[in-house]
């Protein structure tokens, strides 16, 4: 089963919040529990509008049949000595685990990274998260 990977735009804010909260409720491997994630649609839309032109950060979405099923954020730094490096955060709905969604998101980030001057991508994972360690 394939998915489409695309950049998130400000109009995706509400759907992305719902996706994140859904994912946060399905696993203990994410940074937030659903109730702890408090971004508003307006805040996230503003954040997404700043990410696109930044050049060293990116927000990707995975869609399947018109539904958001995963996200990947690339968070670069404006600090000159760190501009080659970015942290990744990744989440996929449980119903889509093991179907290549995370791999497709990561593949796009790795394809894009050199064009943004990034030579180091860091995906932090918990050692007990076998799927993320394998990825």
Digitized pLDDT (tens) for each residue of the chain, 135 residues in all = 689 999 999 999 999 999 999 999 898 888 788 888 888 999 999 999 998 666 889 999 999 999 999 999 999 988 889 999 999 999 999 999 999 999 999 999 999 999 999 999 999 888 888 888 888
**So what's the pLDDT on residue 74?**
95
**So what's the pLDDT on residue 54?**
67
Cα–Cα distances in angstroms (integers) from residue 15 to residues 11, 45, 56, 119, in the given order = 8, 11, 24, 31
Q: 75 forms bridges with which residues in the sheet?
A: 87
Six-digit token string for 36:
């702890």
Q: What is the pTM of this model?
A: 0.91
Q: What share of the chain is helix, strand, coil (3-state, %, to 5)?
A: 45, 25, 30
Q: Is 53 exposed, middle or buried (0-12, 13-18, 19+ CB in 10 A)?
A: exposed
Six-digit token string for 114:
């050199």
**So what's the pLDDT on residue 1?**
64
């Amino acid at each position: 089963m394939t998915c489409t990977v695309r950049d998130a735009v400000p109009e995706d804010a509400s759907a992305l919040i719902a996706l994140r909260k859904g994912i946060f409720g399905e696993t203990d491997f994410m940074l937030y529990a659903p109730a702890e994630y408090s971004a508003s649609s307006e805040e996230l839309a503003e954040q997404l509008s700043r990410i696109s032109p930044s050049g060293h950060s990116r927000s990707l979405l995975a869609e399947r049949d018109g539904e958001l099923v995963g996200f990947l954020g690339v968070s670069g730094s404006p600090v000159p000595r760190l501009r080659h490096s970015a942290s990744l955060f990744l989440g996929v709905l449980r119903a889509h685990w093991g179907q290549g969604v995370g791999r497709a998101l990561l593949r796009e980030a790795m394809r894009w990274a050199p064009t943004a001057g990034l030579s180091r991508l860091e995906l932090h994972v918990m050692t007990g998260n076998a799927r993320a360690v394998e990825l």
